[in-house]
Amino acid sequence: MTLDGRYPVALLPVRLETRFAGSLLRVRIFPDEIFANTHEPGLTPEESADGDAYVAAMKAGADAERSAWGQLAARWTAPRAAFIAQAAAAGSTLARAESWTRAAEATLPSQWLVRAYQNGIAFTVTSGPVRQPLRRPPRPTRSRWPTG
């Protein structure tokens, strides 16, 4: 098998677990944190208010916008602040009441290819389809948390 230069390749960390079942080698592949998509769509009331303040500062001039961006990024982290600013500037009405509404989902390839070598001979197996989306625990379900 050769790689085609027209397509990008990224080798990202995964955790591998292997075991033998008789003469059969079993491989389990676990995604690392880099695969986790934790983005929460929609804005909480606090994010919405901060986004509106940022949009107002944009209209007030460059210095006000720079200051408002610094406050937004300090409170929400730069990636989330960018989403808040973009959603507020676009007039998004997508909202959510809770700050955490869904489990992280792993963004994975559609299949895995495993290659093993023994005595100079290559053995290659392609996995079945990877379940999409693959949710990573924990999930934000109140009933799963102990009470009292």
pLDDT in tens, 43-68: 999 999 999 999 999 999 999 999 99
Within a domain: 121: yes
Three-state SS letters, the chain: CCCCCCCCCCCCCEEEEEEEECCEEEEEEEECHHHEECCCCCECHHHHHHHHHHHHHHHHCHHHHHHHHHHHHHHHCHHHHHHHHHHHHCCCCCECCCCCCCCEEECCCCCCEEEEEECCEEEEEECCCCCCCEEECCCCCHHHCCCC
Within a domain: 5: no
Given a cut of 70, whether residue 148 has pLDDT beyond it is no
Residue-level pLDDT at 129: 92
- Count of the separate structural domains present in the chain: 2
Residue-level pLDDT at 35: 80
Judge contact between 132 and 147, C-beta under 8 A.
no
Given a cut of 60, whether residue 90 has pLDDT beyond it is yes
Asked if 49 and 84 sit in the same domain, the reply is yes
Confidence of residue 32 (pLDDT cuts 50, 70, 90): confident
Residue-level pLDDT at 30: 84
Asked if 68 and 85 sit in the same domain, the reply is yes
Percent with pLDDT over 90 in the chain: 49
Within a domain: 19: yes
Given a cut of 90, whether residue 91 has pLDDT beyond it is yes
Given a cut of 80, whether residue 142 has pLDDT beyond it is no
Given a cut of 80, whether residue 1 has pLDDT beyond it is no
Within a domain: 20: yes
Domain hosting 138: range is: 14-37+105-144
Within a domain: 99: no
Tell me the pLDDT of the chain averaged across its residues.
Answer: 86
Residue-level pLDDT at 147: 44
